[in-house]
């Protein structure tokens, strides 16, 4: 079920000898946190920067660092590990390691292993900016790309050697995100997704507002997963504490009105709209220009209904696929199917909010998909990122083909 996540996958982390090797420790930690099983291969020079013991302790597996030892297992380790690998990250990849990979040289554990592996490989170059710009390194990277390796462009900025320019190893979370997308199929290439997320906030005055506890995690997970699978993704989000997802155009809004405007602007070109936002149904009739002072013992607010964005999209639907969410505290099936028809959407993701393993602020979610043919499918409780990938699978299998008939 988790075919596009790195959970339970066998990942090889190759570390070569650059100053950024310390960041590999964090990469390993993130991979382990995501449920992957990770084995580390180090070059000789990498061991000058970080001790193998650190990787050994964090991964719970021996580090492959010597081709020739008394340990008999080591002599065939590169073949065993290569066969079991679901994916490989080389970070940092030095000019030397890149050169060896481009030319098929096998004179250390990492370069030898790399000749035996057929799983997707993400190479993350990191070095001095002049070295990175050199003809030899650029030529070798071109060779790696044409050999089918994924190459992550280094970031620009101040480098350890005191110069500034491209050569910095990107942050570990960006590397892990990009790597996950290397394992995912490119089955949404050419599709434009509009995803909404988070709460909206409706101001009462400059210092107070009405809102809800939506964290935005579910919508961000859908946006990230769609981008990993090659879609062109616009994320329209209310206020959240989450960073902008990689490879996604993120538009930040505050109120339901602002969200509506941003969504309608994108609607015509959209192939799929996923409305995961928890839009405030009401806003204060009036929003005061200045802070309302404490004085009266009671304060009754008069509220006005916001427009239902999803319903409006349903009315104007032409070729677009519409996916709505239904957060309910009871009668999930009845409420979700009602929203499916009333809003003229193609699919509803329903969930019962209120439990710790589901809903607003949680990292996991327990959802049921409701389809227009009257069927539904309940998923077990799982990470929101895994829910997102299964949602995309269903959109591809069940909804897109019908919508484009």
Show Cβ contacts of residue 14 under 8 Å, excluding neighbours closer than 6 positions: 40, 41, 42, 88, 89, 90, 91, 93, 97, 110, 113, 114
For 22, other C-beta atoms within 10 Å of its C-beta total 14
218 lines the binding site for ligand CTP (CB under 6 A) = no
**Shortest separation between residue 379's beta carbon and ligand CTP, angstroms:** 18
E strand spans, 76-149: 87-93, 121-125
C-beta of 100 vs 343, nearer to ligand CTP: 343
Work out which of 279, 332, 367, 392 binds ligand CTP, going by CB under 6 A: 279
Looking at 161, 189, 207, 288, which residue is catalytic? 161
* Candidate segments 168-176, 240-248, 283-291, 307-315, binder of ligand CTP by CB under 6 A: 307-315
256 lines the binding site for ligand CTP (CB under 6 A) = yes
CA 282, CA 114: separation in Å to the nearest integer?
A: 58
C-beta of 305 vs 381, nearer to ligand CTP: 305
Work out which of 326, 340, 386, 391 binds ligand CTP, going by CB under 6 A: 326
309 lines the binding site for ligand CTP (CB under 6 A) = yes
Q: Cis omega before residue 239 (within 30°)?
A: no
* Candidate segments 69-77, 182-190, 271-279, 289-297, binder of ligand CTP by CB under 6 A: 271-279
CA 243, CA 217: separation in Å to the nearest integer?
A: 10
Quick check: is 161 catalytic?
A: yes
CA 379, CA 387: separation in Å to the nearest integer?
A: 8
314 lines the binding site for ligand CTP (CB under 6 A) = no
Work out which of 214, 306, 366, 385 binds ligand CTP, going by CB under 6 A: 306
Pairing of strands 164-168, 249-252: unpaired
277 lines the binding site for ligand CTP (CB under 6 A) = yes
C-beta of 54 vs 358, nearer to ligand CTP: 358
* Candidate segments 102-110, 173-181, 273-281, 359-367, binder of ligand CTP by CB under 6 A: 273-281
258 lines the binding site for ligand CTP (CB under 6 A) = no
Do the Cβ atoms of 226 and 195 come closer than 8 Å?
yes
Q: Cis omega before residue 92 (within 30°)?
A: yes
Sequence-ordered alpha helix ranges (H) in 184-328: 217-228, 256-267, 309-315
324 lines the binding site for ligand CTP (CB under 6 A) = yes
310 lines the binding site for ligand CTP (CB under 6 A) = yes
**Shortest separation between residue 196's beta carbon and ligand CTP, angstroms:** 6
* Candidate segments 20-28, 126-134, 232-240, 318-326, binder of ligand CTP by CB under 6 A: 318-326
**Shortest separation between residue 285's beta carbon and ligand CTP, angstroms:** 16
C-beta of 144 vs 322, nearer to ligand CTP: 322
C-beta of 183 vs 327, nearer to ligand CTP: 327
C-beta of 82 vs 279, nearer to ligand CTP: 279
339 lines the binding site for ligand CTP (CB under 6 A) = yes
For 226, other C-beta atoms within 10 Å of its C-beta total 30
C-beta of 156 vs 307, nearer to ligand CTP: 307
**Shortest separation between residue 287's beta carbon and ligand CTP, angstroms:** 17
Nearest to 27 by CA among 174, 139, 243: 174
281 lines the binding site for ligand CTP (CB under 6 A) = yes
CA 150, CA 178: separation in Å to the nearest integer?
A: 9
21 lines the binding site for ligand CTP (CB under 6 A) = no
3-state secondary structure of 95: helix
**Shortest separation between residue 353's beta carbon and ligand CTP, angstroms:** 9
Burial class of residue 60 (count of CB atoms within 10 Å of its CB; 0-12, 13-18, 19+): exposed
CA 52, CA 62: separation in Å to the nearest integer?
A: 9
For 107, other C-beta atoms within 10 Å of its C-beta total 11
**Shortest separation between residue 288's beta carbon and ligand CTP, angstroms:** 23
Show Cβ contacts of residue 64 under 8 Å, excluding neighbours closer than 6 positions: 39, 40, 41, 42, 74, 77, 78, 81, 109, 113
Show Cβ contacts of residue 161 under 8 Å, excluding neighbours closer than 6 positions: 128
Work out which of 325, 360, 369, 370 binds ligand CTP, going by CB under 6 A: 325
3-state helix, strand, coil in the chain (%, to 5): 35, 25, 40
Q: Which residues are part of the catalytic machinery?
A: 161
Question: What residues make contact with ligand CTP under the rule CB under 6 A?
Answer: 256, 275, 277, 279, 281, 306, 308-310, 324-327, 339
């Amino acid at each position: 079920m988790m075919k596009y996540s790195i959970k339970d996958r066998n990942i090889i982390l190759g570390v070569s000898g650059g100053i950024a090797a310390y960041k590999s420790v964090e990469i390993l930690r993130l991979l382990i946190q995501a449920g992957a099983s990770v084995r580390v291969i180090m070059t000789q020079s990498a061991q000058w920067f970080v001790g193998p013991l650190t990787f050994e302790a964090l991964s719970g597996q021996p580090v492959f660092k010597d081709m020739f030892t008394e340990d008999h297992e080591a002599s065939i380790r590169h073949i065993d590990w290569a066969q079991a690998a679901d994916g490989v990250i080389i970070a940092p990849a030095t000019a030397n390691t890149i050169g060896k990979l481009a030319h098929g040289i096998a004179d250390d554990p990492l370069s030898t292993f790399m000749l035996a592996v057929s799983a997707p490989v993400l190479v993350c170059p990191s070095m001095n900016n002049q070295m990175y710009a050199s003809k030899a390194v650029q030529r070798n990277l071109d060779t790696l790309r044409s050999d089918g390796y994924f190459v992550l462009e280094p970031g620009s900025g101040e480098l350890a050697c005191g110069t500034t320019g491209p050569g910095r190893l990107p942050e570990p979370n960006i590397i892990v995100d990009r790597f996950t997308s290397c394992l995912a199929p490119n089955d949404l290439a050419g599709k434009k997704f509009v995803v909404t997320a988070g709460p909206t906030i409706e101001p009462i005055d400059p210092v107070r507002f009405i809102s809800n506890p939506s964290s935005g995690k579910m919508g961000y997970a859908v946006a990230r997963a769609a981008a990993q699978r090659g879609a062109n993704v616009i994320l329209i989000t209310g206020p959240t504490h989450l960073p902008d997802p990689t490879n996604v155009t993120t538009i930040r809004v505050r109120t339901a009105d602002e969200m509506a405007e941003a969504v309608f602007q994108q609607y015509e070109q959209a192939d799929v709209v996923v409305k995961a936002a928890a839009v405030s149904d009401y806003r204060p009739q009036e929003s005061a220009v200045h802070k309302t002072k404490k004085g009266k013992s009671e304060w009754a607010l008069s509220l006005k209904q916001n427009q239902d964005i999803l319903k409006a999209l349903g009315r104007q639907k032409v070729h677009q696929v519409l996916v709505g969410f239904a957060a309910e505290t009871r009668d999930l099936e009845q409420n979700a199917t009602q929203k499916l028809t009333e809003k003229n959407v193609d699919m509803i993701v329903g969930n019962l909010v209120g439990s710790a393993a589901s809903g607003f602020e949680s990292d996991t979610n327990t959802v049921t998909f409701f389809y227009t043919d009257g069927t539904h499918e309940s998923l077990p409780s799982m990470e929101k990122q895994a829910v997102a990938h299964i949602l995309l699978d269903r959109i591809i299998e069940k909804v897109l083909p019908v919508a484009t008939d």
